[in-house]
Structure formats: structure tokens, C-alpha cells
Amino acid sequence: MSKIIIVYASLTGNTEEMAELIAEGVRSAGAAADLKMVEDCNAVRLLEYDGYMLGAYTWGDGELPDEFEDFVDEMKELDLRGRMAAVFGSGDTSYRLYCGAVDLLEEKLKEWGAVIPQESLKVEYGPSQEEKALCREFGANFVQSLSAVT
């Protein structure tokens, strides 16, 4: 059974809800999912899993939340080449950079050689009923992508 870690930062609970729904999708596809708030997790833990998913809300004008800064600094020191990853998060379209933190994380992961098999998932505020289903699908699709390479 594949093991996936989902590391997230959530200010209002929206990204946390997405993480929980994504974990449901991961589990429904037959993999184990561990949920961790970013401030309670060291980046080196990513190496203990078959794949990892990062979720962040966007702060300010498209920035990563403060909670993710140390984690990202730790990730720079890891060899993430060829490791499966996915990114998700919540945002607000009234800002110039909608879900900019999601884009930043994806960009850094690609720069460090991670494999991102699916488009990042972005939700405005909290997920609607339709978006809840998309979150579950996102998790299940990640497991399928992971299975295809193992």
C-alpha cells in the first residue's frame, strides 16, 4: 500500500478542509494518507513517503504563508528529484495573484526535480459541494499516478 503525506497550512480552515477531503480520496483509492499541519512537520519527513501533497492558503499579494517558509527552506536541502508531488490551496480572486502560494510551491518543486503528475488544485475560499468532489478526485488521481510509476 502506498503511503502519502499531506502537509498543509490553513488560516481560516478552508485549506484544512481541502486537505481532509483530499485524504478521503487518497484512502478511497487504496493508499494510506497522513495529514500534518506544516508547523508540526519537518520537511525530511517527506522522504518517508511514496508521495507527498502540499497545501497552502495565499497570503498578502500572492505569498506563501509564514508557516511554510521554514518548511520550504528545509525542502531545499532534500533530494526531491523524481519524487511524486502535488499542490493545492485556497485563495481569493479579488487579489492580483489568485492562489499565488500554490503557484510558488509548484514552481519550487519543479525546480527541485519533483514529478508533478497533475494540475494543482485551486479553490476560492472554502470548497463548494462540487469542489469537495474535485478534492476527493484530486487525492484519488494522485494515487493512480503514483501506482502508474511503481
Instruction: Check whether 44 has a pLDDT greater than 70.
Output: yes
What confidence score (pLDDT) does residue 27 get?
98
- Which one is predicted more confidently, 81 or 60? 81
Indicate yes or no: pTM above 0.85.
yes
Instruction: Check whether 73 has a pLDDT greater than 90.
Output: yes
- Which one is predicted more confidently, 56 or 150? 56
Instruction: Check whether 5 has a pLDDT greater than 80.
Output: yes
Residues 116-143: tens digit of each pLDDT: 999 999 999 999 999 999 999 999 999 9
What confidence score (pLDDT) does residue 15 get?
97
What confidence score (pLDDT) does residue 59 get?
86
H/E/C letters for each residue in the chain?
CCEEEEEECCCCCHHHHHHHHHHHHHHHCCCEEEEEEHHHCCHHHHHHCCEEEEECCCECCCECCHHHHHHHHHHCCCCCCCCEEEEEEEECCCCCCCCHHHHHHHHHHHHCCCECCCCCEEEECCCCHHHHHHHHHHHHHHHHHHHHHC
What confidence score (pLDDT) does residue 135 get?
98
Name the band, by pLDDT with cuts 50, 70 and 90, for residue 150.
Answer: low
Residues 20-43: tens digit of each pLDDT: 999 999 999 999 999 999 999 999
Residues 91-120: tens digit of each pLDDT: 998 888 899 999 999 999 999 999 999 999
